[in-house]
Chain A
Amino acid sequence: MKNKNIRMNVNGEWHDLTVTLQDRLIDTLRDQLSLTGTKEGCGEGECGACTINVNGKAVLSCLMLSVQADGAQVQTIEGLQNRLDLHPLQTAFLSESAVQCGYCTPGMIMAGHALIKQNPNPDEAMVKKCLANNLCRCTGYEQPVKAVLKAAGEMRRQTR
């Protein structure tokens, strides 16, 4: 199995890594960097559980080879928290009870994070469209939509 050396910035820190050509980005994040917050659901781009941000955009880490991420800026759910302080999105998901089993949550939060970065004042329709790629089989969708809207409001208040 052929190995390649890549360098990528994950959550603000540069890493020099040796990956195989078969490794998807989710494999490298979870198995090499122990960033197990990113979950694998379907592994073929249908469920959105593995959503992370690469170069500022929400992408699916199961549909990206690690070698494709050479030189990229990668952000995972672990990169949102500032030391002990939860990110407003994480706080909103807790206070809105938008988490039940939690498997889809990191993907939903990363999708919401990319949306708020792009548009700090999204309306409900935009949030629904943004989360349309993230399947949840227990909580449902109402609470996550409310949580993203609440977090967007909180983030606007913080930057004011």
Chain B
Amino acid sequence: MPLQYKLEDYYRPESMKQAVELLSKFGKTAKVIAGGTDILPKRQQGAKFDTITHLIDVSNLELNYIKKNKDNICIGAATDINCLATAPVFHQNSYRALMEAAEAHSTNTIRNQATIGGNLCNASSCADLALPLLTLSASVVVTGPKGNCTMPLDTFFTGPNCTALLPGEILKKIIIPDYKENAGSSFIKLKHHQTCVDMAVVNVATQLWFNENRCKRAMIALGAVWPTSFLAKEAADILLGQTLSKKLIELAAKLAADSSAPINDNRATAAYRKEMVTVMVKNSLEKSWKRSGI
């Protein structure tokens, strides 16, 4: 049965300029569509996107790429998630969390359609790809009527399903800084039924970067335990400048759990989620430590 919603028009612009013009013209009634895996099921259930009457398809804007530059990696916003899961560059220990998150994201067929930009712009608090990108201090490049602007990813999420994108703006690419040697990252996802289509009950990503054997950079990102994906900065900061030990990692994990504020829902209780944050942050930090080669 065809979808039951009011859609007045669909556009597939050939240039970014055209896309921005269309988005500006239709304002809040317009929505960008890339893979469509978030928009279409929600439209079927009604409500959420009832005000959307114009879809702007970004598949002809050449936003499907992964480019390794001298000091960063750029990912086009319409790059499908399977590309991230299979790109050799993300097999390196410093970026492994991104590959693991891409692999943990839903199923093979959905990953062929769903895009990294869609996962970020949908801004679900349990979005898998948001976490490794937060730990890698990724920034996002946004194009709008006033031109391009770059912002850190941790300012991009402003609330559940809300981003800093203004009407007329479109996410163009994601930039990840280069982490050379002695860095390790990992991603862990806990699911309710442990089937591949499940959303995360809790998901965690960490990244550690060492100078000799002291930790010079530590990042812990948590999902599904706060209205948005977020960095547990206080917990990560206690690792800075330290020689890591099991005890220190356990303390950071405990602090990370303290900084979370999960809710009770049909997937898990708040108390269980909090407990799991402690376990998962500990495991993820240990993995990242091991991967850093220190």
Contact = CB atoms under 8 A, between A and B. Distances in A.
A60 interface: yes
Overall SS of chain B's interface:
loop
Contact of B197 (A27, A63, A133): A133
A154 interface: no
B89 interface: no
Given A44-B41, A48-B107, A60-B113, A2 B7 contact: yes
The residue in A43, A45, A59 that gathers the most chain B C-beta atoms within 10 A of its C-beta is: A45
Contact of B33 (A43, A51, A68, A132): A68
B37 A27 contact: no
Contacts of B1: 27, 43
A22 interface: yes
B41 A58 contact: no
Interface in A32-69: 43-46, 48, 51, 57-60, 62-65, 67-68
A51 B5 CA distance: 23
Interface residues of B, number: 31
A24 interface: yes
Interface in A10-30: 20-24, 27
A62 B9 CA distance: 19
Interface size class of A (residues with CB under 8 A): 20 to 34
Given A45-B41, A65-B36, A68-B33, A132 B108 contact: yes
Contacts of B55: 21, 65
A24 B8 CA distance: 15
Given A60-B109, A130-B108, A45 B7 contact: no
Q: Which 8 A-B pairs have the closest CB atoms?
A: A133-B107, A44-B41, A22-B2, A21-B7, A57-B112, A22-B3, A132-B196, A67-B10
Given A22-B5, A111-B108, A132-B195, 13 more contacts: A21-B9, A22-B4, A24-B2, A27-B2, A44-B45, A45-B41, A45-B197, A51-B109, A59-B109, A63-B40, A65-B10, A68-B33, A133-B110
